[in-house]
Structure 1
Amino acid sequence: MTEIRTPRLVLRRWSDDDLVPLSEINADPEVMRWTGDGSVRDLEETAEDIERYEEEWDEEGFGPFAVELIGSGELIGFAGLSVTEFLPEPTHDIGIGWRLGRQFWGQGYASEAAHAVLEWALQDRGLDRVVAVTHLADRASENVAAKLGMEPGRELKHPDLGIPLRVHVIDLTEYQA
C-alpha cells in the first residue's frame, strides 16, 4: 500500500470512512469555486469520484491520495496525480492537484502535501515531468505551484468550459527536493 508521511500529514489510499468528510468538502461552494465549472458535488457524486480515484490507482499506479492530519486522523482533502486528458492538445501529461476543506486553508497543508506528492512522482515513480493546471484567478493554487518550483507555462482556455487556465511545469532536471 502506498503511503507518504510528512511532518503533519499522512497521504494514503481511500477508505469507506472518507466518503462523508470528502462529500462535506465537495459541498462547499468556496472550495469548489476553482474546480471545473465551480459546481458543488453531492454524496453520490463524491462516491463516484472516490471510485474513479481508486480505479486510477489500479490502472496507472498513481492517483489522488486522501490527505489526513497525523494528530487527529481527520480527512482534510486530497492531493495527488492524474492524467490531464482534458487539455486541448493530447499531451498525456501527468498533473498534480489538490483540494482541501476551507478550514484547512492558509496553514501550509496544500504546499506540504503537494511537495510530498511531487517528490514521490519524480523520485519514486520515475516521472520526468509533472504539470499543474490552475485557473488564472486562483491565486492560492498559483502560489502552491510556485512554491513547488513549477514554472508558469502556457495559458489556454478549458476546451469545454472556456475558463482561462495556466499550465505550470516542472521536470526532473529542475526539481530540488
Structure 2
Amino acid sequence: MSASLTTPRLELTRWTGDDLRLLTTLVSDPLVVRHIRDQEPWSAEFTRERHDAALEHWSAHGFGWRAIRWRHDGTAVGMVSVSHRPVGESVLGRPAVELGWLLAPPAWGKGVATEAVRAARDHAFGHTDVVYAQYQTGNDVSGRIMTKLGMTHHADRTDSDGVHTHLHVLTRTDWAALR
C-alpha cells in the first residue's frame, strides 16, 4: 500500500497525527465550511473526533484521508477523504467508497480539487466497485468537479443535518470506460 499518491503538481500523503493542524485550519475557516455539514466552523472536539476517525479508518481499511500538498515545496493546501461506507452507512444501500475534499482558499480555482480527487477516485477503485460524492445545493463548483470526474447524478436527498444534497455516483464499469 503506497503511502502517497502523486499527480503532476500534487502529492497526496497518508493522513497522520500531524495533520490535525491542517484539518483545524481548514474547518475553522467559514469560507471553507460554507457548504459542509451545517455550514459552521467545526468545534475543536468534533475536529479531533473526525481526525481520530480518519486515523482509525486507515488502520481498519488500509486507505483513507490524504493531505493534499504541492509537490514543489510540500505545502499542504487541503485534504481529500476516501472513506469506506458499509451497507449501513452508505447512502447507496450497498458498500461503497465516499469521496470528499476541503481546500484552503488560496488553492481555489487552480484545478487542485479536480486533480487531487481524480487521483483519489482512481485509487479508490482498488477497494470498491462504486464511488460516490455529495454536494450541498449552492456548491455548484463541487458538482462540476464530480461531473469532470465522470460521476453522474444519482439522486437528491436530505442529509443527516437536514441539508439538501445532490448525490453523484461512478461505477467501476463507467470508470473503466473513462480510461
- The two structures share one fold, judged by TM-score above 0.5: yes
- Structure 2 stretches of 5 or more lacking a match? none
Change (3 A) 1:87 1:161: farther
Q: Alpha-carbon deviation of 1:137?
A: 1.6
The equivalent of 1:157 in structure 2 is 158
Offset from partner CA, 1:25-70 (integer Å, 9 cap, x none): 1111110111111121245543332221110111122211111111
Alpha-carbon spacing, 1:37–1:86, altered in 2? closer, same or farther (3 Å): farther
Structure 2 residue matching 1:168: 3-state secondary structure: strand
Matches within 5 A, 1:115-130: 115-122=118-125, 125-130=126-131
- Which residues in structure 2 correspond to 1:1-177 (within 5 Å)? 1-84=2-85, 90-122=93-125, 125-158=126-159, 160-175=160-175, 176-177=178-179
- The residue type paired with residue 165 of structure 1 is T
**Counterparts of 2:166 and 2:90 in 1: how far apart (Å)?**
11
Task: Indicate the SS of the match to 2:167.
Answer: strand
User: How many correspondences in the alignment?
Assistant: 174
CA 1:95–1:89: 2 relative to 1, 3 Å: closer
Unaligned ranges ≥5, structure 1: none
Deviates most, 142-151 or 36-45: 36-45
Shift of 1:21: 3.0
Secondary structure (helix, strand or coil) at the match of 1:174 reads helix
Q: Distance in 2 between matches of 1:150 and 1:120?
A: 15
TM-score, with structure 1 as normaliser: 0.88
SS of 2:170's equivalent in the other structure is strand
TM-score normalized with structure 2 length:
0.87
Is the CA contact (8 Å cut-off) linking 2:96 and 2:128 kept in structure 1?
A: no
